[in-house]
Amino acid sequence: MNPLVLVCFCVISYAVAAVLSFAGRHHEQASLRLAGVISAFGGLFGIIAGVSTVVMGTHGHSIAHLGQFFSMDMLSALMVVVISVVTMAASVYSINYLEEYFGKGGWKVNILFNIFAAAMTALVVSANVMIFIVFMEIISVASWLIVISDGSAQSKKAGFQYFIIDHIASVLILCAFLIVVSNADSYQFSVIMANPVTGATASIVFLFALAGFGIKAAGIGLHGWLPKAYPIAPSYCSTLISCVMVKIGIYGILKFAILFLGATQLWWGFVVLVFGALSSVLGVMYALAEHDIKRLLAYHTIENIGIILIGVGVSMIGIASHQPLLALLGLLGGLYHLLNHAVFKGLLCLGSGSIVFRMHSKEMDDMGGLAKTMPKTAIAFLIGTLAICALPPLNGFVSEWFIYQSLFSMGKTGTVANLIFGPFGMVMLAFTGALACMCFVKVYGICFTGAPKTQQAANTREVGPAMVTATTALAILCIVLGVCSPWIAPYFSAIAASVLQLAPVTVAHGLSVYPAVADQAILSTPVIMIALALLTLVPTALLYLFRQRRLERRHQGDPWACGYQYEQRMTVSAASITRPMRQMFGFIYNNRPSQSLTERFILPVFYKGTDTAVLSGSKVCLFCIFSVLFVLLFIPFISGVSC
């Protein structure tokens, strides 16, 4: 079967789930559970479509009479898999999660969730500019309505800021499309790729696309909407925002920089690499200072988007400097991490949603001891924290290892710029990894270990089976994508080669993977997994043998407080763990901008005077009118362009 037909089934499933949510709004319990099952099947169709395309190594799938509107190549197939994996997990999760929304408009949220997932799936298989723009706008509106769905003043303010910033990004992207469409005299992606813009105009298009899609990807400096919008949205919907929607930004940067423009300018790659490096380091540093678990995870999205962009930047440098192996290796690492981040971050987002579902609080200092009351969630969350910290043999480690190897290869080429930026990228990536470990020691230690810090934490219990199933499935996938990397990495090599129009390069042999050249480095995650399993046997056996003696000697009273009477406030807090870090890097935290560039210079335009709580209706209306006029002017412009 044509994989694009399966994508159609995927989108139809989401549409059926949305209609069912509306039709059964008076019987929410049954209708929303059934809608969750149907949405999960939609995700399954998408996974089969994407995986079959990648495994068969085919590209350019289309359907008769729809070929000029939709097509699926290897890159689109990977994006469909990324979207579908997270959507499937979130759909299963919603079966129990939406119990909290019965009678509170849960059916509306579920309609938006399915529209959101369907629009993202359709966008990545779009074959022309108009279809891309239409679905990009549907994604923007659906995600905005999700953010403001609870109706609170805080959500409305965050939603408005997101709406404005996102549409500024859309205008920048439209400007980039206007130039490439006028140059190619067509709005078909295939024609645009065959007739790339050159010279200074190409650089202008690149900057428009990088700024527009950089906002949608929440790169540092353009990220202000994400830490505000993500924590407010319902957890299973915000998982799509933080794990999938930001990847549309990466997809757009790849589409323009490599496919439309050919990455011909060397400085483009260095800009993307530096942008990614700063996003990764500053993202994790800002996460360290957070006590709200969902805001903390939002900043980790910025960190991992930066890591992906480092790989993309190395690839662009390889293209511009005519080093195909370097280009392929960087893109391989970036694309592998794109999928890996969706999986382990989806696990952490859903896991944090389970905590908030039971705690009704996002403050980590209200938690503690949850591993005893929520053991299944705790185990799955632990696997997610190990994966996001890039610890072997999990998936985050493998993709970052490939990005490291691309930076090592870049540093060996001998040009002055490469000798500078290669080590720069390595240092920034290593620093990011160290800070991520520190951050998640804090998160897991504060939330799951020790004694409960509040009565609410002591009274929690495990979440429903559907929520546990979703997080467990993603935890297993984190292990599979890491341990099975010798069999998975070659497919990412094929995807990267397809994007770069190169022959696939061998990156695995037997139980090992290597960065195209085996004498540079070699990695065997199955061997690491076996070694770690054997190493844990001894302490596990000792704990089992001496468990009774350990229980007898366990101290049940208050901890030692140096002779002083113990008080609850003496316990370790989220702030105390990171205080040395915040003091050491006070010059960053003390001068940290409270607003992103877009919030600081653009959003104040829409408020009355200096009052950031009162919007100016006339200014908002003018902006909306301007956006609509821009699109209306864009349509006649391309309507005369040949197909």
For the segment 233-255, what is each residue's pLDDT rounded down to a tens digit? 888 998 999 899 999 999 999 99
Alpha-carbon distance 22 to 142, whole Å?
A: 16
Task: Report which of 24, 245, 216 is spatially closest to residue 113, judged by C-alpha positions.
Answer: 245
- pLDDT, one tens digit per residue, over 275-312 is 999 999 999 998 888 888 999 999 999 999 999 999 99
Amino acid sitting at position 287: A
| Confidence bin at 425 (pLDDT 50/70/90) | very high
> Where do we find the tokens 């200074």?
200
Average per-residue pLDDT in the chain?
A: 86
Handedness of CA 87, 91, 96, 97 (dihedral sign): positive
| 456 close to 357: Cβ distance less than 8 angstroms | no
Report the 10 Å Cβ neighbour count for 635. 10
| 139 close to 115: Cβ distance less than 8 angstroms | no
pLDDT at 47 over 70: yes
| Confidence bin at 69 (pLDDT 50/70/90) | confident
SS3 state of residue 452: coil
Alpha-carbon distance 429 to 310, whole Å?
A: 9
Point out which residues pair with 128 in neighbouring strands: 188
Length reported for the chain: 643
SS3 state of residue 380: helix
Q: What pLDDT is attached to residue 639?
A: 45
Cis peptide before 465 (omega within 30 of 0): no
Q: What pLDDT is attached to residue 346?
A: 94
Q: In Å, how far are 22, 158, 165, 176, 326 from 602, measured between CA atoms? A: 37, 15, 8, 20, 39
For the record, the structure tokens of 382 come out as: 């632990």
Q: What pLDDT is attached to residue 40?
A: 95
Better-predicted residue by pLDDT, 390 or 415: 390
For the record, the structure tokens of 116 come out as: 């959101």
- pLDDT, one tens digit per residue, over 299-345 is 999 999 999 999 999 999 999 999 999 999 999 999 999 999 999 99
pLDDT at 196 over 60: yes
Q: In Å, how far are 161, 497, 523, 603 from 620, measured between CA atoms? A: 11, 45, 54, 10
Cis peptide before 3 (omega within 30 of 0): no
Backbone phi, then psi, for 519, in 5-degree steps?
A: -80, -5
- pLDDT, one tens digit per residue, over 385-396 is 999 999 999 999
| 148 close to 109: Cβ distance less than 8 angstroms | no
Better-predicted residue by pLDDT, 554 or 124: 124
Give the torsion through C-alpha atoms of 211, 216, 221, 227, to 10 deg. 170
SS3 state of residue 480: helix
For the record, the structure tokens of 573 come out as: 């807090």
Which value, in Å, is the radius of gyration of the alpha carbons in the chain?
A: 24
Q: What pLDDT is attached to residue 66?
A: 66
- pLDDT, one tens digit per residue, over 524-537 is 999 999 999 888 88
pLDDT > 70 fraction of the chain, expressed in percent and rounded: 85
Q: In Å, how far are 282, 307, 432 from 592, measured between CA atoms? A: 10, 21, 18
| 343 close to 475: Cβ distance less than 8 angstroms | no
- pLDDT, one tens digit per residue, over 168-183 is 899 899 999 999 998 8
